Chains A and B, each alone.
Chain A
Amino acid sequence: MLAIETEKLTKTYSGRGGCRDISLAVPQGTVFGLLGPNGAGKSTLVKMLVGLLHATSGQGCILGRPFTDLSVRRKVGFLPENFRYHDWLTGEDLLRFHGALFGLSSAEVRARIPVVLGQVGMTEQASQRVGRYSKGMQQRIGLAVALLPDPELLFLDEPTSALDPIGRKEVRELLERLKGQGKTVFLNSHLLSELETLCDQIAIIKQGRLVYQGDWRELARHSYQTRVVVGDVIPSQLTGAGEAGFQLLSQRRLGLGSGLEAAARSEGGSATDRLRHELLFHIPEQYFIPKLVQSLVASGIDIFEVTPQEDSLEKLFLQLVTQEEGPSQ
């Protein structure tokens, strides 16, 4: 079953802005990242799914039920982007209040409060007023609120925006644990490095439209590159690789470090022996690497190092959002 499924979900403001025709499929048990430049419509999509905005058209389901169905929200946690809580309540009172709003019994709330406080590292501060919390602590207590009903699906809108590096790491570890427990996390974040580490699948929204969804590593593999460090090489030796279908993207001469140079000299090697070149090839798939190596060896090239190059999420994201046109699903 899909945790989130939308079909042509659209929200516009007087016919402008928002997001249009979003058809999304988020599998259960995944950490799903939502990406897009500022104003692309990411928060609009999240707000629609959690019931803050009314969809202009389209439909969608959360955990198998229409997202407009209130009962489904019992198993959905949400940390808003602009988190703000009753600052005169203590952290514990706030959790008690939100627990009641989730429809949890007093016993359930009593049992869950220490658990979620522990998960977000706020046990010590539970009796302090929310108004006295730092912004990072407020974000943590917001996360605790979202975790209160032991949700099957968690919407986190910029969950680490106010956290320091340690806090970010803790939240990352928490999300990994939740993923391990089979929870689905829908993560809207600008921090691509964070999404790269956590997310299995991503969706990219550009100007209100979905331009990509799926496994970002799969996308990265579509432009697989391999770095090969070889000895001295002449252009004619590289024609074999080209004929075998491997496109040479770049070639540059590498300088040896002083240590390596000394080692090469002590071994009595010539200057030519000490030369190293870095070749960057484009290959269709990872399993083409042995074939590439074979073709280079067949051309008489000495190979010292072969490193598969994977595009970073940031690079892919920039490629997709700066493209002039085009859905590439």
Chain B
Amino acid sequence: MFILARLTFAEAARKRIFLVILFLSLAFFLLYGIALDFASQELMRLNALRGRQPVIQQIVGNQLLGSGMYFASFLLALLALLASVGAVASEIENGLLHAIVSKPIPRSSIILGKFLGYGSMLISLGLLLFAGIVALNRLYNPQILSLLTPVHLVYGALIFILQPLVLLGLSVVFGAALRTLTAGVIVTVLYVLGTVGGFLEQVGGLVQKPSLVNLGIAISLLIPSDALFRKLMTVLTVAQENPLASLSLGPFGVAVPPSNLMIIYTLLYLMACVGLALYNFHKKDL
């Protein structure tokens, strides 16, 4: 399993999409840093003119932190989708797996190796992105992270990396059962559906429409990627202990914060994905 995980990691890191995402991440950090710098200067100018503005600082800071996390999550989601969707399906189609499955190794170790390989690549890049965004916000936007403890930070990092892992899990499930294109389309549609579901849930919360909230929750159960992002924002802004956090809605705010149960559900969801992928691949005729 670890031999395959190592090879998968090395192969994934060599893929053009990984290099493109890496380049985009660097560009993103540059632009994000510039935006934070401008915002910080503007807030300082405002403070100098009108005295300290904690509400405005909170609102702007939250949106900046949220946008950073959102776009970084999107980059990771792209990588998870484009790099891993063919991990099993295309290797079955092009015959690469024929010489591997015929070896004295259980089929489960091939799926687990693929999952570990791609997972470790996504986790590595995810942690880098997460650390970069937190560091930039600490530098330019320290107030927003003032309540953040190391526990929150670790918890936030866990939630951040769970997002691409969910998509990886789905890619492996569908990739082990369907053709590459079909699997790719299904996972992409699910990802978009998750985002729409999260949007519906937040809007439902704002307008106090329980049916919309329930629909959003149902979609989050089907694909928890957006719910994870909302949870991430509540953890990073320490929403429970921050009275100003409720003022910070907007596109990256959280009207209806998901509970901690969502994280447990996601972990179970991931395990179910891997289990289903193992079952599909075990039954698969190559």
Interface, chain A (partner B; CB < 8 A)? 47, 50-54, 70-74, 76, 78, 80, 82-86, 88, 97-98, 100-103, 142, 145
The 7 lowest CB-CB distance pairs between A and B, nearest first, are A82-B95, A73-B104, A80-B98, A101-B103, A50-B102, A52-B286, A84-B95
**Cβ contact within 8 Å between A142 and B103:** no
**Cβ contact within 8 Å between A54 and B285:** yes
* Measured CA separation A73–B7 after assembly (Å): 21
Q: What residue in chain A is nearest B100 (Cβ atoms)? A: A101
**Cβ contact within 8 Å between A54 and B283:** yes
Note all chain A residues with C-beta closer than 8 A to B101.
Answer: 51-52
User: What distance in Å separates the Cβ of A57 from its nearest Cβ neighbour in chain B?
Assistant: 14
Note all chain A residues with C-beta closer than 8 A to B283.
Answer: 54
Note all chain A residues with C-beta closer than 8 A to B103.
Answer: 73, 98, 101-102
Most buried by A among B4, B95, B100, B104: B104
* Measured CA separation A98–B7 after assembly (Å): 11
* Measured CA separation A76–B283 after assembly (Å): 22
**Cβ contact within 8 Å between B99 and A85:** yes
Across the interface, B285 reaches (CB within 8 A) one of A52, A72, A100, namely: A52
**Cβ contact within 8 Å between A84 and B286:** no
**Cβ contact within 8 Å between B99 and A145:** yes
Given contacts A88-B14, A97-B3, are A78 and B102 in contact (CB under 8 A)?
A: yes
Given A83-B98, A97-B3, A97-B7, 15 more pairs with CB closer than 8 A: A47-B286, A70-B105, A71-B104, A73-B103, A82-B94, A83-B95, A84-B94, A85-B99, A86-B7, A86-B11, A101-B3, A101-B4, A103-B104, A142-B99, A145-B99
Note all chain B residues with C-beta closer than 8 A to A76.
Answer: 102
Given contacts A52-B102, A70-B104, A71-B104, are A85 and B285 in contact (CB under 8 A)?
A: no
Most buried by A among B11, B105, B283: B105
User: What distance in Å separates the Cβ of A123 from its nearest Cβ neighbour in chain B?
Assistant: 21
**Cβ contact within 8 Å between B99 and A74:** no
Please provide the chain B residues from 104 to 132 with a CB less than 8 Å away from any CB of chain A in the complex: 104-106
For this complex, 8 residue pairs linking A to B, each with C-beta atoms less than 8 Å apart, are: A50-B102, A52-B102, A83-B98, A86-B7, A86-B11, A88-B14, A97-B7, A101-B104
Q: What residue in chain A is nearest B94 (Cβ atoms)? A: A84
Q: What residue in chain B is nearest A157 (Cβ atoms)? A: B98
Tier of interface size on chain B: 20 to 34
B96 within 8 A of A: yes
* Measured CA separation A103–B106 after assembly (Å): 12
Across the interface, A70 reaches (CB within 8 A) one of B7, B106, B285, B286, namely: B106
Note all chain B residues with C-beta closer than 8 A to A85.
Answer: 96, 99
Across the interface, A52 reaches (CB within 8 A) one of B3, B11, B98, B106, namely: B98
* Measured CA separation A73–B101 after assembly (Å): 10
Given contacts A47-B286, A97-B3, A100-B3, are A86 and B104 in contact (CB under 8 A)?
A: no
User: What distance in Å separates the Cβ of A115 from its nearest Cβ neighbour in chain B?
Assistant: 19
Most buried by B among A53, A76, A84, A103: A84
Note all chain A residues with C-beta closer than 8 A to B96.
Answer: 84-86
Most buried by B among A50, A54, A83, A101: A101
Given contacts A52-B285, A52-B286, A97-B3, are A73 and B95 in contact (CB under 8 A)?
A: no
**Cβ contact within 8 Å between A102 and B104:** yes
* Measured CA separation A97–B11 after assembly (Å): 13
Note all chain B residues with C-beta closer than 8 A to A142.
Answer: 99
User: What distance in Å separates the Cβ of B178 from its nearest Cβ neighbour in chain A?
Assistant: 17
User: What distance in Å separates the Cβ of A262 from its nearest Cβ neighbour in chain B?
Assistant: 63
Q: What residue in chain B is nearest A47 (Cβ atoms)? A: B286
**Cβ contact within 8 Å between A82 and B98:** yes
**Cβ contact within 8 Å between A73 and B102:** yes
* Measured CA separation A227–B56 after assembly (Å): 107
Note all chain B residues with C-beta closer than 8 A to A51.
Answer: 101-102
User: What distance in Å separates the Cβ of B119 from its nearest Cβ neighbour in chain A?
Assistant: 19
* Measured CA separation A53–B107 after assembly (Å): 12
* Measured CA separation A83–B95 after assembly (Å): 7
* Measured CA separation A74–B104 after assembly (Å): 6
Most buried by A among B14, B99, B283: B99
Note all chain B residues with C-beta closer than 8 A to A101.
Answer: 3-4, 100, 103-105
User: What distance in Å separates the Cβ of B220 from its nearest Cβ neighbour in chain A?
Assistant: 37
Most buried by A among B14, B94, B98, B105: B98
